């Protein structure tokens, strides 16, 4: 199957994407799909009908339908950790039972959600209070999946935020904590410690430091701390009262967890009703993923376009370019979702992966990126497939002309990538500047855009909680499809462990409890330099 796709890629030669539109007047329609009122257009790629069929055949042959059924039904598809993968159950609220090991998990999911709602209502109404009054601010302490989703969603849904202000501290760099709490009142701040394992060193260090700040400032950790975790013994050990602990099962992966307790900060910011709409949006995408035929299935198509670009054509990175300022943190969120899930080099059974793993994902909102790195995207030597996102409407009715310009820019970029500018066109452009001969040629060459660079566009009416839920679930399922086609387990993350183990070994060297004899020369040299600069005792004991 991969061979068929490789030969399709070779067969394309220098074919221009733009000619596909000349050959097929209905291309835009035929190479796009809808889920609800969301439109996914992949017509500005070099995928033709034959290639699409080959990609769909690859997907079918990978056993996607069975794997998908296994995931939704609670089978332990995370084979390396022996766990089910059931973040979809967290948004299956109005629907039927979901069983894990013969037990319906939905009553527990609903009960936790009800507790979250009650807590959110109490905090937002001021009936749950800090030492000196209603909560004005919330600080979520967490990292990775216990941070990126909530930060991203709170930014995306800012127009819906009518609760206390939400802040996020993830980095163990003291600057992050210090800069966040500087202007907060320790007697009116609610701290949420978000950690699935409740052992993550960054999170636990920040949690202890903010607790000390609260106590020193007259706050009351007994009523101003909550925890979101799977490790209920550890939350108790930390001293967080049970009624302020929101637990979840091990079948919710960290980077897939914002639909349940890890999303508490989102619920506190936008309120339970809008949080429900967010869940419902994701559930709508779940239904679409389960029911739509493969050729009309957004997560499947998004994944297959990605596979075409990465595994078949060999493009190493993919840019995610939301023309939606409030999706500022979406690229960072997707970096964890995609790269922690599909950045692997062994297959499910431990054999070497013989095709490239998932790509590097990066990006920034447009139009800002246009004034920064788009130069490389248009004229660099590497091809970067781009994923544009654009809403029909913003939330600023008085600034409609801004949205118009945003849309014009978004559409212009995907056009420019596809069409480019030929040498003749560039010459015609610079001819008016009085140049001729070699000088004209040189000046024109700098202005050539080779074009023929692929992009896809996801368009939606407006970034509401429902639409955001759909977008995030779309990307979650995209990762799933890519993982199934590559034959890897998307749900473990052993690649993050080695660095954690080594950091633990370096820490005692930094506080002179270990001589560090076994360290390599570079590490020893760097420690020596940093120790000299910082001076004795600067790092504590
Ligand atoms: O280091 C990676 C990781 O394990 C992520 O997968 C996870 O989202 C993050 O750390 C945080 O883990 P926890 O929620 O257990 O603190």
Per-residue model confidence as pLDDT tens digits over 307-345 = 999 999 999 999 999 999 999 999 999 999 999 999 999
Cβ neighbours, 10 Å, residue 397: 8
**Ligand 1 center–CA 200 separation, angstroms:** 7
Element (H, E) at 4: helix 2-12
Does the annotation count 340 as an active-site position? yes
Chain segment 427-450, per-residue pLDDT in tens: 999 988 888 899 999 999 999 999
Q: Which residue is catalytic, options 6, 273, 402, 500?
A: 500
Residue with tokens 């030669």: 13
Q: CATH classification of 96-270, choosing from 1.10.150.20, 3.40.50.2300, 3.40.50.10490, 3.40.30.10?
A: 3.40.50.10490
Q: Which atom, in ligand 1's list, is nearest to the CA of 145?
A: 8
Q: What is the 3-state secondary structure (H, E, C) of 468-518?
A: HHHHHHHHHHHHHHHHHHHCCCCCCCHHHHHHHHHHHHHHHHHCCCCCCCC
Q: Are strands 386-391 and 129-130 parallel, antiparallel or unpaired?
A: unpaired
**Domain 2-24+33-73+278-419+453-486 carries which CATH code?**
3.40.50.10490
Helices (H), 157-297: 174-181, 201-216, 221-224, 232-238, 264-270, 272-291
Dihedral angle of Cα 206, 209, 215, 221, to the nearest 10 degrees: 30
Q: Which atom of ligand 1 is nearest to the CA of 340?
A: 6
pLDDT at 1: 87
212-241 as b/e, with b when 16 or more CB fall inside 10 Å?
Answer: ebbeeeebebeebbbbbbbbeebbeebebe
- Which of 80, 141, 143 best tests ligand 1's pocket when mutated (most atoms within 8 Å of CB)? 143
Atom of ligand 1 nearest to the CA of 148: 8
* Cα of 85 from ligand 1 centre, angstroms: 16
Catalytic residue among 202, 338, 340, 364: 340
List the chain domain ranges: 2-24+33-73+278-419+453-486, 96-270, 423-452, 499-534
pLDDT the model gives residue 402: 97
Which atom belonging to ligand 1 lies closest to the Cα atom of 500? 1
Residue 151, classified by CB atoms within 10 Å of its CB into exposed (0-12), middle (13-18) or buried (19+), is buried
Q: Using only the alpha carbons of the chain, give its radius of gyration.
A: 25
Q: Ligand 1 atom 6: the closest Cα is on which residue?
A: 254
> Low-confidence residues of the chain, pLDDT below 50?
none
C-alpha to C-alpha distances, 280 to 40, 242, 296, 335, 517, nearest whole angstrom: 20, 28, 21, 24, 56
Q: Whose CA is nearest to atom 1 of ligand 1?
A: 496
| Active-site choice (10, 291, 371, 446) | 371
- CATH topology of 2-24+33-73+278-419+453-486 equal to that of 96-270? yes
Using DSSP's 3-state secondary structure scheme, residue 375 falls into helix
- Judge whether 500 counts as a catalytic residue: yes
CA of 278 to the centre of ligand 1 (A): 23
What is the reported pLDDT for 250?
A: 94
Instruction: Provide residues with CB under 6 Å of ligand 1.
Output: 143-146, 195-197, 200, 203, 254-255, 340, 493, 496
Looking at every residue in the chain, the average pLDDT score rounds to 97
Query: Residue 94: which residues within 8 A CB-CB, separation 6 or more?
Result: 283
The residue contributing the CA closest to ligand 1 atom 9 is 144
Question: Which residue spans within 19-132 are E strands per DSSP?
Answer: 32-35, 38-41, 99-100, 103-104, 129-130
For ligand 1, atom 8: residue with the closest CA: 145
CA 265 to ligand 1 centroid distance, Å: 17
Give the distance (Å) from ligand 1 centre to CA of residue 72: 23
* 66 Cα: distance to centroid of ligand 1 (angstroms): 29
Per-residue pLDDT tens digits for 464-487: 999 999 999 999 999 999 999 999
Q: For residue 436, how many other CB atoms are within 10 A of its CB?
A: 9
- Max intra-chain CA distance, the chain: 80
Distance from the alpha carbon of residue 219 to the mean position of ligand 1, in angstroms: 28
Predicted local distance difference test score (pLDDT) of residue 336? 98
- The verdict on pTM exceeding 0.85 is yes
């Amino acid at each position: 199957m991969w061979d068929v796709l490789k030969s399709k890629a070779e067969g394309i030669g220098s074919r221009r994407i733009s000619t596909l539109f000349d050959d097929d007047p209905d291309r835009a329609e035929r190479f796009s799909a809808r889920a609800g009122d969301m439109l996914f257009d992949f017509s500005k790629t070099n995928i033709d009908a034959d290639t699409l069929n080959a990609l769909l055949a690859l997907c079918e042959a990978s056993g996607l339908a069975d794997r998908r059924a296994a995931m939704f039904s609670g089978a332990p598809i995370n084979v390396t950790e022996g766990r089910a993968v059931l973040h979809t159950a967290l948004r299956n609220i109005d629907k039927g039972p979901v069983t894990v090991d013969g037990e319906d998990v939905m009553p527990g999911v609903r009960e936790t959600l009800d507790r979250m709602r009650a807590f959110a209502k109490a905090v937002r109404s001021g009936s749950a209070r800090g030492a000196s009054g209603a909560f004005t601010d919330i600080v979520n302490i967490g990292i990775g999946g216990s941070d990126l989703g909530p930060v991203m969603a709170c930014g995306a849904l800012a127009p819906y935020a009518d609760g206390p202000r939400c802040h996020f501290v993830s980095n163990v760099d003291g600057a992050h904590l210090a800069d966040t709490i500087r202007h907060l009142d320790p007697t009116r701040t609610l701290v949420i410690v978000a950690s699935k394992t409740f052992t993550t060193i960054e999170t636990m260090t920040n949690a202890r430091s903010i607790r000390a700040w609260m106590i020193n400032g007259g706050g009351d950790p007994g009523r101003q701390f909550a925890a979101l975790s799977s490790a209920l013994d550890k939350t108790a050990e930390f001293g967080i009262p049970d009624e302020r602990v929101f637990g979840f099962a091990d079948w919710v992966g960290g980077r897939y967890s914002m639909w349940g307790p890890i999303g508490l900060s989102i619920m506190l910011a936008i309120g339970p009703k809008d949080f429900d709409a967010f869940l419902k949006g994701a559930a709508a995408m779940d239904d679409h993923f389960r029911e739509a035929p493969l050729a009309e299935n957004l997560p499947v198509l998004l994944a297959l376009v990605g596979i075409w670009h990465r595994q078949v054509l060999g493009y190493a990175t993919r840019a995610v370019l939301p023309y939606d300022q409030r999706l500022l943190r979406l690229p960072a969120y997707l970096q964890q979702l995609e790269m922690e899930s599909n950045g692997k080099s062994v297959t499910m059974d431990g054999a070497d992966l013989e095709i490239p793993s998932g790509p590097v994902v990066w990006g920034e909102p447009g139009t800002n990126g246009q004034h920064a790195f788009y130069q490389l995207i248009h004229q660099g030597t590497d091809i970067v497939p781009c994923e544009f996102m654009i809403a029909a409407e913003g939330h600023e009715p008085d600034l409609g002309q801004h949205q118009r310009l945003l849309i014009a820019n978004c559409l212009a970029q995907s056009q420019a990538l596809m069409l480019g500018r030929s040498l003749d066109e560039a010459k015609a452009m610079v001819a008016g500047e009085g140049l001729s001969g070699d000088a004209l040629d040189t000046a024109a060459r700098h202005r050539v855009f080779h074009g023929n660079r692929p992009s896809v566009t996801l368009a939606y009416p407006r970034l509401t909680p429902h639409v955001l839920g759909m977008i995030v679930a779309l990307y979650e399922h995209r990762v799933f499809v890519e993982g199934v086609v590559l034959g890897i387990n998307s749900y473990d993350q052993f690649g993050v462990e080695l660095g954690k183990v080594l950091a633990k070994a370096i820490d005692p060297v930094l506080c002179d409890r270990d001589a560090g004899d076994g360290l390599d020369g570079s590490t020893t040299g760097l420690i020596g330099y940093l120790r000299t600069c910082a001076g004795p005792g600067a790092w504590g004991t």
